[in-house]
């Protein structure tokens, strides 16, 4: 058993995945334990295994070897559809149903679970308020009438609709403009804390990772190179590759400070 597994909401235990036709494993003997209530950010280059890791957790794919445990259960014997209805998932592409209203999009999972309609309606209003969209303004609108940031807020509300304990987020802010991205990422962290979620978030943005994460996992070539708090990884990077990842935001911050200092009138 992986150390810490009994206290963790999500456990990957020596997990490997090779896609059909793949020359090398997409994941190679990855072990990871995410403590309950923590926000883990996965970083690494494209193709390093970050999204594959998310898809393992909600059983969109199954491992060739190893085990995945969610809330103490080995999900190999769990119906995938039922599992996914209890795990929130937010995509970069958002994926709202264009023919449905905002309210209907958020209501999808509770309705499939057989919630009474009054409870569904109350939950939709509660979540729209939580993500900063007034229900009386946005409930009946179509996704096409929303800005990118508003659509992503609806996507977040939909992922939270069935009161999941676990949230998975795959580059959720990647398509947003910088100001909206900063605002929404801060709100995601606040919602995570308020609801006591366990969250795994994938991003390419190291500054975003440092600002959001309780724990950061660095992936490379299908392996988990290092995982720890931002402070621990900054102080003791496992290798030059991890060090380079963390040097980038530090260097950009120093360059920005110099530019602001030199700018006329600043």
Q: List pLDDT tens digits, range 117-160.
A: 999 999 999 999 999 999 999 999 999 999 988 999 999 999 99
In this prediction, residues 48-76 reach a mean pLDDT of 95
Task: For the domain made up of 38-44+79-261, give the CATH fold.
Answer: Rossmann fold (3.40.50)
Domain boundaries, the chain: 38-44+79-261
pTM score of the predicted model: 0.89
In this prediction, residues 42-70 reach a mean pLDDT of 94
Q: List pLDDT tens digits, range 12-35.
A: 999 999 999 888 999 999 999 999
- At residue 260, does pLDDT exceed 80? no
- At residue 73, does pLDDT exceed 60? yes
Cα(36)–Cα(46) distance, rounded to whole angstroms? 27
Cα(171)–Cα(232) distance, rounded to whole angstroms? 24
Contact 105, 143 (CB under 8 A): yes
The region of weakest confidence among 64-68, 72-76, 90-94, 233-237 is: 90-94
At 256 the pLDDT is 67
At 77 the pLDDT is 87
At 1 the pLDDT is 45
């Amino acid at each position: 058993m992986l150390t810490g597994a009994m206290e963790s909401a999500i456990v990957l235990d020596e997990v490997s995945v090779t896609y059909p036709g793949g020359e090398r494993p997409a994941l190679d003997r990855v072990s990871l334990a995410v403590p309950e209530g923590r926000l883990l950010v996965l970083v690494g280059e494209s193709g390093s295994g970050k999204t594959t890791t998310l898809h393992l957790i909600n059983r969109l794919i199954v491992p060739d070897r190893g085990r995945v445990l969610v809330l103490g259960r080995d999900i190999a014997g769990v119906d995938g559809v039922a599992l996914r209805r209890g795990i929130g998932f937010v995509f970069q592409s958002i994926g709202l149903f264009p023919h449905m209203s905002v309210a209907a999009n958020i209501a999808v999972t509770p309705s499939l679970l057989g919630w009474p309609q009054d409870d569904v309606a109350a939950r939709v209003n509660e979540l729209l308020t939580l993500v900063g969209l007034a229900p009386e303004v946005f409930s009946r609108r179509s996704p096409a009438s929303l800005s990118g940031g508003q659509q992503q807020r609806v996507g977040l509300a939909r992922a939270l609709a069935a009161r999941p304990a676990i949230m998975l987020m795959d580059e959720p802010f990647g398509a947003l403009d910088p100001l909206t991205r900063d605002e929404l990422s801060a709100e995601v962290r606040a919602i995570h804390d308020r609801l006591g979620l366990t969250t795994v978030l994938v991003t390419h943005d190291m500054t975003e990772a440092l600002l959001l994460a309780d724990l950061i996992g660095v992936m490379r070539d299908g392996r988990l190179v290092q995982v720890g708090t931002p402070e621990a990884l900054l102080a003791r990077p496992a290798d030059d590759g991890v060090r380079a990842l963390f040097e980038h935001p530090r260097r950009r911050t120093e360059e920005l400070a110099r530019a602001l200092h030199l700018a006329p009138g600043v």
